[in-house]
């Protein structure tokens, strides 16, 4: 049981009930109190309450009025009425409004314990049923999302069976790459693993909050505004197209119908050459030669054109898949040990953005190229990477990225990425993140600096982004980590 609300105008009785709840043996996360029905109703509007104990006779709004008014709310608590009057008419009226139990003052501890155990069991069973229903409902919504030819009968059946879990009014669909996340909120429906995407169906008014919280820095595609389950396939396709644009151009949010920047035709013509047959074959045939710099240059030009919006996301996807197919045919014997990694790389949009994909791809490409024709000057690269590590340790709290560091040591960006991972055992982003988190842990444990000050001290301007990274790395929030360290 998560939340209990006690509504009673007499302070001593209210605190006595709270103590009985605490000693009942039923685990309750939050116990709230108030002294009249008006305040209770405001609490019920703002927060989901599992169980409410309410007196009947109170100032401003009595218990009967309270349970009548709360029938208008989306979430109604399991309610226990408490009265000092053994009046059957009160009991009848309260039960008519859905009150589960009616007890008389003075309240007995054994009665509170008995009722709480009963209601806790009911809540647990209800949540189990709701969880099963939501899981089945989400599977049905996935089916609708992925089938543009879904029949009106199928939509009607889904609305009849699972309409309560969907939204009335307008909504957006958002797409991002797939990853594990915490439980969803009521403002949106979360569909995990729809093709290569995670899908969020969010109420119109809740979109800004979703983008500022769960989808902050997540490279998201957002559909146009829609309503009704039948519009889901169209909304999903809009969101998916926008998501691919966000991925390819490294934009954190792309909305359906967003105006694309105008690119001169002569520039587009040059970019089109990068996906033509001749250039494609050149990228394949460069592998296994002694022209490592040419390999890097060819792919840098290709990825740059994609990021700049000169190559469409669909053409980018086709070019990458064709490259893997042709490399597999050309180097069939050598590719067998690489299959697991190339299978992963072929699921392109599982990556958050093109920068992350390019880094992983180029690491694999250069390793495979080296496997075919080893020519990397190992000692020279080690010295340069050690210089890079020293530079990062001295400047981790500044606005660092891989381009800045590779320029600092005068090494090609992609070659630096590959060599850095070979030397440190970690990619650049994770290495820098772990360095910053370790310093943050030291400051949390050894100073009284505020979290926002520590965030800035270790190189994060956005406190929410820092807290999200810290929790994903350490399993607890910065405040929880500090508290745990103080207990040692």
pLDDT tens track of the chain, all 488 residues? Answer: 789 999 999 999 999 999 999 999 999 999 999 999 999 999 999 889 999 999 888 888 888 899 999 988 878 899 999 887 666 666 677 777 788 888 888 889 999 999 999 999 988 887 766 654 556 566 777 777 777 666 777 767 766 665 555 667 899 999 999 887 665 677 788 888 888 899 999 999 999 999 999 999 999 999 999 988 888 889 999 999 999 999 999 999 999 988 777 889 999 999 999 999 999 999 998 887 878 899 999 999 999 999 999 999 999 999 999 999 999 888 877 777 778 888 899 999 999 999 999 999 999 999 888 887 654 455 667 888 999 999 999 999 998 999 999 999 988 888 888 889 988 999 999 999 999 999 999 999 999 999 999 999 999 989 999 999 999 999 999 999 999 888 76
Q: 171 by DSSP, 3-state: which?
A: strand
Query: Which residues are paired to 486 by β-bridges?
Result: none
φ, ψ for residue 372, nearest 5 deg? -75, -45
- For the chain, give me the number of helices (H) and strands (E)? 22, 11
CA geometry: angle 392, 393, 396, nearest 5 deg: 65
Can you tell me the distance from the alpha carbon of 245 to that of 260, in angstroms, rounded to the nearest whole number?
10
Q: For residues 83 and 99, give the distance between their C-alpha atoms in angstroms, rounded to a whole number.
A: 13
Distances (CA, A) of 176 to 36, 109, 216, 308, 433: 46, 51, 11, 20, 22
The residue count of the chain comes to 488
Is the Cβ–Cβ distance between 93 and 47 less than 8 Å? no
**Distance in angstroms (rounded) separating the CA atoms of residues 47 and 60:** 21
Question: Which residue bears the tokens 């709360």?
Answer: 70
* DSSP letter, residue 198: E
Rg (CA), the chain: 30
Which pLDDT does position 184 carry in this prediction? 62
Q: Taking Cα atoms as reference points, which of 250, 218, 248 lies closest to residue 465? A: 218
**The two structure tokens encoding residue 176:** 């991002």
Is the omega angle on the peptide bond into residue 106 within 30 degrees of 0, that is, cis? yes
Enumerate the H helices of 308-450 as residue ranges. Answer: 313-330, 332-335, 339-346, 354-372, 378-395, 402-408, 413-424, 428-446
φ/ψ of residue 34, rounded to 5: -155, 165
What's the DSSP call for residue 98?
T
- Residues 420 and 388: beta-carbon distance below 8 Å: yes
Q: Residue with structure tokens 């490259």?
A: 323
Could you give the CA distance from residue 181 to residue 184 in angstroms, rounded to a whole number? 8
The residue whose two tokens read 């040419």 is: 294
Q: How many CA atoms lie within 13 A of 210 on its CB side?
A: 27
Q: Tokens 């597999």 label which residue?
A: 328
How many C-beta atoms lie closer than 10 Å to residue 73's C-beta?
13
- Burial level of 198, CB count in 10 A (0-12/13-18/19+)? buried
Rounded Cα–Cα distance for residues 152 and 290 (Å): 60
Of 406, 384, 335, 299, the C-alpha closest to 376 is 384
Q: Tokens in use for 307?
A: 């990021």
Match 């996301």 to its residue by tokens: 313
How far apart CA 160 and CA 420 sit, in angstroms, is 56
3 state SS of 258: coil
**DSSP-derived secondary structure letter, 261:** P
**pLDDT on residue 379:** 62
């Amino acid at each position: 049981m998560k939340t209990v609300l006690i509504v009673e105008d007499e302070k001593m009785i209210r605190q006595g009930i709270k103590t009985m709840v605490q000693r009942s043996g039923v685990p309750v996360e939050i116990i709230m109190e108030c002294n009249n029905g008006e305040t209770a109703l405001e609490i019920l509007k703002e927060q989901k309450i599992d169980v409410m104990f309410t007196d009947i006779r109170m100032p401003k709004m009595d218990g009967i009025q309270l349970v009548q008014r709360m029938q208008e709310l989306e979430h109604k608590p399991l309610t226990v009425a408490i009265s000092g009057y053994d009046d059957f008419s009160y009991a009848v009226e309260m039960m008519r409004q859905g009150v589960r139990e009616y007890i008389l003052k003075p309240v007995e501890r054994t009665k509170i314990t008995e009722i709480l155990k009963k209601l806790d069991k009911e809540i647990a069973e209800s949540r189990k049923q709701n969880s099963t229903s939501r899981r089945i409902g989400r599977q049905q919504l996935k089916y609708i999302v992925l089938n543009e030819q879904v029949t009106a009968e199928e939509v009607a059946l889904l609305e009849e069976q699972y309409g309560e879990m969907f939204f009335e009014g307008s909504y957006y669909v958002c797409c991002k790459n797939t990853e594990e996340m915490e439980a969803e909120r009521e403002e949106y429906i979360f569909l995990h693993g729809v093709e290569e995407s995670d899908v969020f169906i969010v109420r119109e008014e809740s979109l800004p909050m979703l983008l500022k919280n769960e989808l902050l820095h997540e490279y998201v595609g957002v559909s146009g505004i829609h309503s009704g389950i039948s519009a889901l396939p169209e909304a999903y396709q809009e969101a998916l197209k926008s998501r691919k644009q966000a991925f390819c151009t490294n934009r954190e949010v792309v909305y359906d119908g967003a105006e694309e920047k105008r690119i001169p035709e002569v520039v587009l013509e040059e970019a089109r050459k990068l996906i033509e047959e001749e250039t494609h074959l050149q990228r394949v045939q460069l592998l296994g030669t002694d022209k490592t710099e040419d390999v890097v240059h060819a792919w840098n030009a290709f990825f740059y054109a994609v990021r700049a919006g000169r190559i469409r996301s669909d053409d980018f996807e086709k070019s990458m898949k064709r490259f893997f197919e042709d490399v597999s045919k050309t180097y069939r014997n050598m590719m067998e040990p690489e299959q697991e990694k190339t299978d992963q790389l072929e699921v392109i949009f599982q990556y958050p953005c093109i920068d992350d994909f390019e880094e992983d791809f180029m690491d694999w490409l250069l390793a495979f190229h080296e496997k075919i024709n080893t020519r990397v000057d190992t000692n020279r690269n080690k010295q340069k990477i050690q210089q890079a590590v020293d530079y990062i340790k001295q400047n981790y709290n500044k606005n660092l990225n891989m381009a800045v560091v590779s320029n600092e040591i005068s090494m090609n960006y992609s070659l630096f990425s590959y060599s850095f991972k070979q030397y440190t055992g970690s990619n650049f982003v994770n290495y820098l993140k772990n360095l910053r988190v370790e310093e943050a842990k030291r400051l949390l444990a050894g100073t009284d600096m505020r979290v926002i000050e520590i965030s800035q001290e270790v190189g994060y301007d956005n406190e929410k982004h820092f807290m999200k990274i810290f929790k994903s790395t350490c399993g607890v929030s910065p405040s929880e980590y500090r508290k745990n360290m103080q207990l040692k």
